[in-house]
Amino acid sequence: MGRFKRTIYLHMKTLEEARAVWQEAMGGYRTAVEQIATEQALGRVSARPVTARLSVPHYHGAAMDGYAVKASHTFGASDVRPLRLELGRQAVPVDTGDPMPEGTDAVIMIEHAQEVDGTAIEIRQAAFPWQHVRKVGEDIVAGELLLPQQHRLRPADLGAMLAAGVSQVPVFAQPRVWIQPTGTELVPARRAAQAKPGQIVEFNGTVIASLVRENGGVPLLQDVVADDYESLLDAVRRAAVSPADVIVLNAGSSAGSEDYTVSILKELGTLLVHGVAMMPGKPVLLGRVESKPFIGLPGYPVSAIMAFEQFLRPLLHWMQGLAEPSDPTVEAVLGRKMPSKLGLEEFVRVILGRVQGRLVAMPLQRGAGVITSLTRADGLLRIPQEVEGINEGEPIRVRLLRSEDALEKTLIMIGSHDNTVDVLASELKRLDARLHLSSSNVGSLGGLLAVRRGQAHFAGAHLLDPETGDYNRRYVERYLAGTPVRLVRLVRRQQGLLTAPGNPKKIRGIEDLFREDVRFVNRQAGSGTRILLDYELERAGRSPEGIQGYDWEEYTHMAVAVNVLSGTADCGMAIFAAAAALGLDFIPICQECYDLVIPEACWTDPKLEFLLDVIGSERFLERVRALGGYDPSESGTVVGVWDGTAWRETKS
Ligand SMILES: Nc1nc2c(c(=O)[nH]1)N[C@H]1C(S)=C(S)[C@@H](COP(=O)(O)OP(=O)(O)OC[C@H]3O[C@@H](n4cnc5c(N)ncnc54)[C@H](O)[C@@H]3O)O[C@H]1N2
Ligand code: MOO
Neighbours of 325 (CB within 10 A): 11
Dihedral sign computed on CA atoms, order 400, 401, 406, 410: negative
Closest-approaching ligand to the CA atom of 278: 2
Q: Which residue, by CA, sits nearest to atom 21 of ligand 1?
A: 299
Closest-approaching ligand to the CA atom of 344: 2
CATH class of this structure's domain 33-56+138-172: alpha beta
Lining residues, ligand 2, CB within 6 Å: 279-282, 298, 300, 303, 368
Tell me the C-alpha distance between 418 and 462, whole Å: 10
Q: How far is CA 442 from CA 5, 178, 363, 415, 577, in A?
A: 42, 41, 10, 5, 19
Cα-to-centroid distance, 179 and ligand 2 (Å):
20
User: Closest ligand 1 atom to the C-alpha of 298?
Assistant: 19
Does the pLDDT of residue 8 top 90, yes or no? no
Is the CATH number of domain 332-404 1.20.120.80?
no
Note whether 643 and 601 are within 8 A (CB).
Answer: no
Q: Which residue, by CA, sits nearest to atom 31 of ligand 1?
A: 299
pLDDT of residue 652: 46
Tell me the C-alpha distance between 419 and 446, whole Å: 18
Beta-ladder partners of 534 = none
Share of the chain above pLDDT 70, in %: 97
ipTM for the assembly: 0.97
Which of the listed residues 9, 14, 300 should we mutate to test ligand 2's pocket, taking the one with most ligand atoms within 8 A of CB?
300
User: Closest ligand 2 atom to the C-alpha of 303?
Assistant: 3
Mean pLDDT within 477-493: 97
| Topology (CATH level 3) of domain 61-134 | Molybdopterin biosynthesis moeA protein; domain 3 (2.170.190)
Homologous superfamily of the 448-649 domain (CATH): Periplasmic binding protein-like II (3.40.190.10)
What's the longest Cα–Cα distance across the chain?
114
What pLDDT digit, counting tens, does each position of 113-136 carry? 999 999 999 999 999 999 999 999
Mean pLDDT within 161-183: 97
Cα-to-centroid distance, 440 and ligand 1 (Å):
26
pLDDT of residue 4: 43
Closest-approaching ligand to the CA atom of 297: 1
Does the pLDDT of residue 442 top 90, yes or no? no
Which of the listed residues 186, 261, 262, 300 should we mutate to test ligand 1's pocket, taking the one with most ligand atoms within 8 A of CB?
300
pLDDT band of 253, cuts 50, 70, 90:
low
What pLDDT digit, counting tens, does each position of 599-650 carry? 999 999 999 999 999 999 999 999 999 988 999 999 999 999 999 999 996 5
pLDDT band of 247, cuts 50, 70, 90:
very high
What pLDDT digit, counting tens, does each position of 365-377 carry? 888 999 989 999 9
Side-chain half-sphere exposure of 476, counting CA atoms within 13 A: 29
Pick the more confident residue, 652 or 307.
307
Q: How far is CA 348 from CA 46, 302, 382, 384, 603, in A?
A: 36, 10, 6, 11, 30
Mean pLDDT within 145-170: 98
Does the pLDDT of residue 263 top 90, yes or no? no
Cα-to-centroid distance, 248 and ligand 2 (Å):
17
Does the pLDDT of residue 335 top 90, yes or no? no
Note whether 207 and 250 are within 8 A (CB).
Answer: no
Cα-to-centroid distance, 387 and ligand 2 (Å):
18
Tell me the C-alpha distance between 227 and 1, whole Å: 12
Cα-to-centroid distance, 499 and ligand 2 (Å):
36
What pLDDT digit, counting tens, does each position of 448-476 carry? 999 999 999 999 999 999 888 899 999 99
Mean pLDDT of the chain: 93
What pLDDT digit, counting tens, does each position of 37-74 carry? 999 999 999 999 999 999 999 999 999 999 999 999 99
| Angle CA 180–182–186, to nearest 5 | 125
pLDDT of residue 417: 84
Mean pLDDT within 168-177: 98
Note whether 272 and 25 are within 8 A (CB).
Answer: yes
3-state secondary structure at position 184 = coil
Cα-to-centroid distance, 13 and ligand 2 (Å):
14
Q: Which residue, by CA, sits nearest to atom 38 of ligand 1?
A: 202
What pLDDT digit, counting tens, does each position of 302-312 carry? 999 999 999 99
Dihedral sign computed on CA atoms, order 648, 639, 408, 480: positive
Beta-ladder partners of 273 = 286
Strands 145-147 and 50-51: antiparallel
203 ligand 1 Cβ < 6 A: yes
Neighbours of 431 (CB within 10 A): 14
Beta-ladder partners of 459 = 414, 597
Name the pTM for this structure: 0.86
Does the pLDDT of residue 138 top 90, yes or no? yes
Closest-approaching ligand to the CA atom of 280: 2
Does the pLDDT of residue 11 top 90, yes or no? no
Compute the residue count for the chain: 652
What pLDDT digit, counting tens, does each position of 530-567 carry? 989 999 999 899 999 999 999 999 988 889 999 999 99
Strands 329-334 and 358-363: parallel
| Angle CA 24–30–32, to nearest 5 | 160
Least confident of 73-77, 226-230, 282-286, 456-460: 226-230
Least confident of 1-15, 25-39, 168-182, 516-530: 1-15
Beta strands per DSSP E along 309-457: 329-334, 338-339, 345-355, 358-363, 379-383, 389-390, 395-400, 410-415, 436-441
Neighbours of 263 (CB within 10 A): 16
pLDDT band of 259, cuts 50, 70, 90:
low
What pLDDT digit, counting tens, does each position of 354-364 carry? 999 999 999 99
227 ligand 1 Cβ < 6 A: no
261 ligand 1 Cβ < 6 A: no
Neighbours of 198 (CB within 10 A): 7
Does the pLDDT of residue 387 top 70, yes or no? yes
Closest by alpha carbon to 499, among 483, 513, 479, 511? 513
Cα-to-centroid distance, 132 and ligand 1 (Å):
68
- What is the 3-class SS of 571-592, one letter each residue? EEEEEHHHHHHHCCEEEEEEEE
Beta strands per DSSP E along 174-306: 176-181, 186-187, 200-201, 218-221, 246-250, 269-274, 278-279, 285-289, 292-297
Architecture per CATH, 15-29+175-319: 3-Layer(aba) Sandwich (3.40)
Cα-to-centroid distance, 390 and ligand 2 (Å):
20
pLDDT of residue 49: 97
Strands 520-523 and 553-554: parallel
Q: For the chain, what are the domain ranges?
A: 15-29+175-319, 33-56+138-172, 61-134, 332-404, 448-649
Neighbours of 97 (CB within 10 A): 13
Cα-to-centroid distance, 278 and ligand 1 (Å):
15
Cα-to-centroid distance, 359 and ligand 1 (Å):
34
